[in-house]
Amino acid sequence: MSDSPSSSAGAEGSGPGPSQPGGAAAASGSRPTRQRITRVNLRDLLFCLENERATSRSHFLYKGFLK
């Protein structure tokens, strides 16, 4: 993970999601769903982990602060 502002741009995934063989989706003509990729900054992730009760004293959080 990088801590640059450009790493949070572009939350769209690449390529189609899991294909559905036959079924109702192919018959109705609707578009298949795409898998979305969400990118977050390390700073934002650490903030969320810090505020959650279960992870506020986790080893993972302290290792993140060292980066």
Which residues, including other chains, have CB under 8 Å from residue 1's CB and lie 6 or more apart?
A: 7, 40, 41, 42, 45
Asked if the structure places residue 50 within a domain, the reply is yes
Residues 62 and 49: their CA atoms lie apart, in Å, by 10
Which residues, including other chains, have CB under 8 Å from residue 14's CB and lie 6 or more apart?
A: 37
Q: What pLDDT does residue 12 have? A: 47
Asked if the structure places residue 29 within a domain, the reply is no
DSSP 30: P
Q: pTM of the entire structure?
A: 0.44
- The residue range of the domain holding 57 is 39-66
Task: Read off the pLDDT of residues 19-60 as tens digits, 9 standing for 90 and up.
Answer: 555 555 555 668 888 889 899 999 999 999 999 999 999 998
What is the tally of structural domains in the chain? 1
34 vs 17: which has the higher pLDDT: 34
